[in-house]
Amino acid sequence: MRGKTLRYREAGSAEATFQPGSHGRVLLNLPGITSKRAMDLAEYEALLAAQEKYYTILTLDTRFTAALLCQMHADWLGRLYA
């Protein structure tokens, strides 16, 4: 069965845990955001900040390793999710 109700329902994973008070719409997060709209904005602003950081760091010679991609992801969402 596929659908919106199963979107984050992976048993035993962080994706199965929602922020209290979010009515099952926002994943558990560090700042305690309960509004989906507010979380969408927080993720978007964090993405812009990460893009600005990497725009100044990356060069044509940059090697995109798994470690670099993990660091980029952490820089994007690390302040929002554990």
Secondary structure of the chain: what % helix, strand, coil (to 5)? Answer: 50, 0, 50
For residue 35, what are the CA distances in angstroms to 19, 27, 63?
A: 9, 10, 37
Model-level pTM? 0.78
For residue 51, tell me if it sits in a domain: yes
Is the residue at 66 inside a domain?
yes
Q: Is residue 12 part of a domain?
A: yes
pLDDT band (50, 70, 90) for residue 16: confident
pLDDT tens profile 29-58: 999 999 999 999 999 999 999 999 999 999
Give the separation between CA 43 and CA 60, rounded to whole angstroms: 27
Tell me what pLDDT residue 25 has: 97
| Residue 82 included in any domain | no
- Count of Cβ atoms closer than 10 Å to residue 29 Cβ: 20
What ranges in 1-82 are assigned the alpha helix state H? 36-57, 66-77
Domain count, the chain: 1
- Under the banding of pLDDT at 50, 70 and 90, the label for residue 2 is very low
Residue-number span of the structural domain to which 36 is assigned: 4-77
